[in-house]
């Protein structure tokens, strides 16, 4: 079954996830969807100093939004801020230094941010693909800590603030790679068998999609969505998947192409009129499972995922007493 999933997914990817796939899809885009004035709206973007996150920040800043760059590296974040301000002439660009793999840092940021800032849109873009097994200082597998647990804590911690805003939205940048994975709820941190960073990442991306669906059902006041940016030529892809990048570099999307649907989901009126909880690719809701791939989880397993994450989040001594679940 895994061979079938991978073969179907790769053929699909060559047709849809590449630069030519984007160009074909873009013929159906309504360019007016992004003709918006974002003055007064506040956007929190994780992993925003490069790649898709930076491209997203640029498009939002260009339209007058208040942009909060949540980044791990202070120097690169400051460089990104200066570049954004220079290119967009928008002075409302702010830097916050947070390691998304650290539950303590994510809690502290969410708490302090909520006290002094408003938030209309959260864009969960930060991610990592560590190919050698590595644990954080808190003893959590690095990919899972960043991609899943960090995203879970930040989102749930900011839900009360989001509910105070007009037209609040949460967009999570997932990956089409999750289509080849069925969630392994009894091995969320990839502890069984030989560690494979690519598969761990794909598992995390499946977990993100499931969380998006659950949040949408639990918090009706907020519009949730997840999305696949396609195969984009970003620093993260170059670093984490060098062989794939070398073979596919002439077919890969630009960072702006990868960011297009993130921006569309974050700012357009038509996106917020879509049902909450869906998975998007090139401005269209698409299935979260390949045909006959047997990747669906039971409702009980999806509930268990959220329960485990809540338990892990509560292990941190600096968190608030109650998550927004």
pTM of the model: 0.94
Distance of CA 14 to the CA centre of its chain: 22
Residues with a catalytic annotation lie at: 201
Coil, helix or strand at residue 136: coil
Tell me the C-alpha distance between 151 and 107, whole Å. 11
Q: Which helix (H) or strand (E) holds 309?
A: helix 299-314
Looking at residue 23, what is its pLDDT?
97
Contact 225, 165 (CB under 8 A): no
Cα–Cα dist 151/303, whole Å: 17
Give CA–CA dist 75/2, Å, rounded.
42
Q: Where are the beta strands (DSSP E) in 54-108?
A: 66-71, 93-97
Q: How many CA atoms lie within 13 A of 14 on its CB side?
A: 6
* 113-147 pLDDT, tens digit each: 999 999 999 999 999 999 999 999 999 999 999 99
Q: Which two tokens stand for residue 319?
A: 């968190």
Residue in 149, 162, 197, 157 with CA at minimum distance from that of residue 177: 197
pLDDT at residue number 268: 98
Distance separating alpha carbons of residues 277 and 129, to the nearest angstrom: 25
CB atoms within 10 A of CB 135: 13
Exposed/middle/buried for residue 76 (C-beta within 10 Å: 0-12, 13-18, 19+): middle
Three-state DSSP class for residue 320 = coil
N residues, the chain? 325
Q: Which of 165, 151, 133 is nearest to 208 (CA)?
A: 151
pLDDT of residue 189 exceeding 80: yes
CA–CA separation, 165 and 182 (whole Å): 35
Kindly give the pairing relationship between strand 284-285 and strand 223-227.
unpaired
Amino acid 237: pLDDT: 79
Q: Is 93 helix (H, G, I), strand (E, B) or coil?
A: strand
What pairing do the DSSP bridges indicate for beta strands 278-281 and 284-285? antiparallel
Neighbours of 305 (CB within 10 A): 21
Q: How confident is the model at residue 319 (pLDDT cuts 50, 70, 90)?
A: low
For the chain, what is the mean pLDDT?
94
Q: What is the pLDDT of residues 69-94, one digit of tens each?
A: 999 999 999 999 999 999 999 999 99
pLDDT of residue 322: 44
């Amino acid at each position: 079954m895994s061979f079938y999933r991978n073969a179907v997914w790769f053929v699909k990817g060559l047709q849809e996830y590449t630069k030519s796939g984007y160009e074909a899809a873009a013929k159906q885009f309504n360019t007016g969807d992004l003709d918006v004035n974002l003055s007064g709206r506040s956007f929190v973007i994780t992993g925003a100093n490069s790649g898709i996150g930076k491209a997203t920040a640029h498009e939002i800043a260009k339209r007058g939004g208040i942009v909060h760059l949540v980044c791990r590296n202070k120097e690169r974040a400051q460089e990104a801020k200066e570049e954004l301000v220079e290119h967009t002439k928008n002075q409302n660009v702010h830097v916050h230094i947070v390691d998304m793999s650290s539950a303590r840092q994510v809690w502290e940021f969410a708490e302090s941010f909520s006290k002094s800032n408003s938030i209309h849109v959260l864009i969960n873009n930060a991610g990592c693909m560590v190919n050698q097994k590595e644990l954080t200082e808190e003893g959590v597998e690095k990919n899972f800590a960043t991609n899943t647990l960090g995203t879970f804590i930040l989102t749930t911690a900011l839900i009360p603030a989001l509910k105070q805003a007009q037209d609040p939205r949460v967009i999570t940048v997932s990956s089409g790679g999750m289509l080849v994975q069925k969630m392994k709820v009894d091995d969320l941190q990839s502890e069984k068998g030989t560690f494979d960073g690519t598969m761990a990442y794909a598992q995390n991306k499946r977990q993100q999609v499931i969380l998006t669906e659950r949040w949408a059902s639990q918090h009706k006041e907020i519009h949730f969505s997840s999305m696949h940016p396609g195969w984009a030529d970003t620093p993260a892809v170059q670093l984490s998947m060098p062989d794939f990048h070398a073979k596919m570099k002439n077919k890969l999307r630009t960072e702006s192409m990868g960011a297009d649907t993130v921006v569309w989901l974050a700012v357009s009126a038509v996106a917020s009129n879509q049902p909450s909880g869906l998975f998007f690719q090139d401005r269209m809701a698409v299935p979260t499972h390949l045909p006959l791939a047997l990747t669906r989880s039971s409702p009980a397993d999806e509930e268990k995922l959220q329960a485990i994450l809540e338990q892990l989040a509560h292990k941190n001594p600096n968190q608030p007493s109650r998550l927004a679940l």
